[in-house]
Structure 1
Amino acid sequence: MNSSVEKEKPHYRNDVKEQGVEVIVRSGIRSNSWWARIKAALGQRINVEGISFSVGIFYKDKHLAIPHVFVQDIRYIDWAELKRRGFEGVVFDKDNTITVPYSLNLWSPLASSMEQCKSLFGNNIAVFSNSAGLAEYDPDGRKARILERAIGIKVIRHRLKKPAGTAEEIERQFGCKSSRLIMVGDRPLTDIVYGNRNGFLTILTAPLSLSQEPFIVKQVRKLEMALVNRWSSKGIRPISHWLLPDCQYCMKDELL
């Protein structure tokens, strides 16, 4: 797909402060130990659950890493067609899908597409992230609440990192089976594997900004895309989705 995405310079310093690495209680005693902070920082870069699932993907389940659809960003998704086909809701990853890394604000060029998505799916839109809303790194839900206020959609609280876990929390939130939901994310071995394992229609986006990503994440991303491209070139495809057998129908060729 031939498109140029104008990069917005994020207010990175403010976003980092908003994340609040340390929590200070009223007595002035730090509630987080230095080890907890180091563990959280490392954990957000190294997804142990993702690594363990990847072993199975490499050997027998390569199709789970292949998205049904690939687009440059969510502006190229035809939300109206997806709604017409019978999908009832949309689940977004956060970092590099709808926000730049570590930001708690929607990347502004995506605003019109997000508004169209809201107008069609109403309250059946949510964020399901390995940062905001994940119990390990957002135990008090502070980042989730900030994101909800900024974007105006629900952030699902959960305990397991994608791709681990079932779709239970999401199905409770939406009141329907995951086979009627759309998973949108930028990482094949987390977002897409999770979505395909649980019966979603999966849409992979290109990352919004690589400049803020840690070095190790960039390298893992390169490896992921190299594997997905190689497997796709060998004819490996995801399981066909019953609501949209021909996924090309949900893609826009160009922006209006």
Structure 2
Amino acid sequence: MSLFRILEACIKPRLLVPAIRVNTIRELDFRGLRDAGYRGAVFDKDNCLTLPCKDTLVPQLKDAWEDCRTAFGKNNVIVVSNSAGTRDDPAGLEAESVSHHLRVPVLPHAAKKPGCLELLRNPISHSQQPIHPSELIYVGDRLFTDVVMGNKLGGLTVWTTGLWAREAMALRYLEYGMLRIIVKWQAFRNKQVDNVADERVVQSPQQRFVKPDPRQANPGPSTVARVWSCLVAALRLTSVVARWFGGLMSALYRRLLLAYRKQEDALRPRDSIETLSSQEPFSSGYHQPHLIVPNEPQGINRFAKLVVTVRDAVIWTTHRREAANGAPVPRER
């Protein structure tokens, strides 16, 4: 693409604006286009009908391609490519291969698009009735070549935005950025002339000749249903996580309790009750050592020490009262 095309698009920005924008040709209503007066179609090859540098039709487009050939007639559909049928294909082998696989003629041209306008003034010369360029649709994936060529010839331009393979992405980003600027400028100008515009509602080609999206014809669940399903899924996940966490904490608690009991058994005093009753309260010999639970905070250890001290005081006071009343004191066997 030369710098001249970019300057031409800046001077005449309307040449870059397609009449219809689709993802692939599967979204086009070819029978509706035929009924509207369009008698033929001019297609680009790479990334529109085939993969780049390939000659066979993309399998996903088989049905749409048959609909197009049936609607317009196989003699009224041609391929104009910047690879097949140009100087890059001097022997015409690629053009012959493309024509064989797609079952439509390939227009040979020396100058690449959009410089081959003179040949496209009457591209379908073998038709029974002459077809004017304005009665054709021009389908392609490039704005600077396919769309500009179709707009110069006065036909209906279709821009396919879906890519079967990534190529020349820098130029595509440039085309898309320029198109966004042009569309925004046109929308701004339309707002200024709304007061003097005709109030009649006219459907655009995008609305007339593009098949409805199956996702819009068969909408999915409503927003409330989606929110409810997400809430149910979140509750189920929370329940699973809570069960797993509860089982983990239960196992950890059992292990800590077992370690605490083992430590308590190891530190339990072996003295008899008589020896315990003869000792002074809170003496070093009678005091049960502090039981430490592993991995417990310091506050819990202090609370455990306080509980053990209170328990020792209650036991010592009880034994003193029983000894004062003459009650028998059990002896060790």
Q: Would you call these one fold, judging by a TM-score over 0.5?
A: yes
Q: How big is the alpha-carbon RMSD for the aligned residues of Structure 1 and Structure 2? A: 1.9
Write the deviation string for residues 130-178 of structure 1: whole angstroms up to 9, x where unpaired: 01111x1111111000011111111111111112231534614253110
Aligned match of 2:56 in 86, 96, 105?
105
Counterpart contact for 2:121–2:153, Cα < 8 Å? no
Write the deviation string for residues 37-71 of structure 1: whole angstroms up to 9, x where unpaired: xxxxxxxxxx33xx31221211x200000000000
Instruction: Specify whether residues 245 and 54 from structure 1 end up closer, same or farther in structure 2 by C-alpha distance, changes over 3 A only.
Output: farther
User: For residue 246 of structure 1, what is the aligned residue in structure 2?
Assistant: 204
- Aligned-residue sequence identity (percent) comes to 33
Count of aligned residue pairs for this structure pair: 196
Counterpart contact for 2:18–2:159, Cα < 8 Å? yes
Per-residue deviation at 1:229?
A: 1.5
Per-residue deviation at 1:245?
A: 7.0
For residues 45 and 88 of structure 2, what CA distance do their matches in structure 1 show? 14
Per-residue deviation at 1:246?
A: 2.4
TM-score after normalising by structure 1: 0.72
User: For residue 127 of structure 1, what is the aligned residue in structure 2?
Assistant: 79
Instruction: Specify whether residues 69 and 167 from structure 1 end up closer, same or farther in structure 2 by C-alpha distance, changes over 3 A only.
Output: farther
For residues 131 and 118 of structure 2, what CA distance do their matches in structure 1 show? 10
User: For residue 147 of structure 2, what is the aligned residue in structure 1?
Assistant: 192
The runs of 4+ residues in structure 1 deviating greater than 6 Å are none
For residues 50 and 118 of structure 2, what CA distance do their matches in structure 1 show? 23
Gaps of at least 5 residues in structure 1 are: 1-46, 238-243
User: For residue 15 of structure 1, what is the aligned residue in structure 2?
Assistant: none
User: For residue 67 of structure 1, what is the aligned residue in structure 2?
Assistant: 18
For residues 53 and 184 of structure 1, what CA distance do their matches in structure 2 show? 19
For residues 200 and 167 of structure 1, what CA distance do their matches in structure 2 show? 15
For residues 172 and 56 of structure 1, what CA distance do their matches in structure 2 show? 24
For residues 249 and 93 of structure 1, what CA distance do their matches in structure 2 show? 22
1:133-148 maps to which residues of 2 (within 5 A)? 133-134=85-86, 136-148=87-99
RCO greater where, 1 or 2, for CA within 8 Å and sep 6 or more?
1
Q: Does 1:205 align with 2:156?
A: no
For residues 147 and 210 of structure 1, what CA distance do their matches in structure 2 show? 18
User: For residue 177 of structure 1, what is the aligned residue in structure 2?
Assistant: 132
TM-score after normalising by structure 2: 0.56
1:39-50 maps to which residues of 2 (within 5 A)? 47-48=1-2
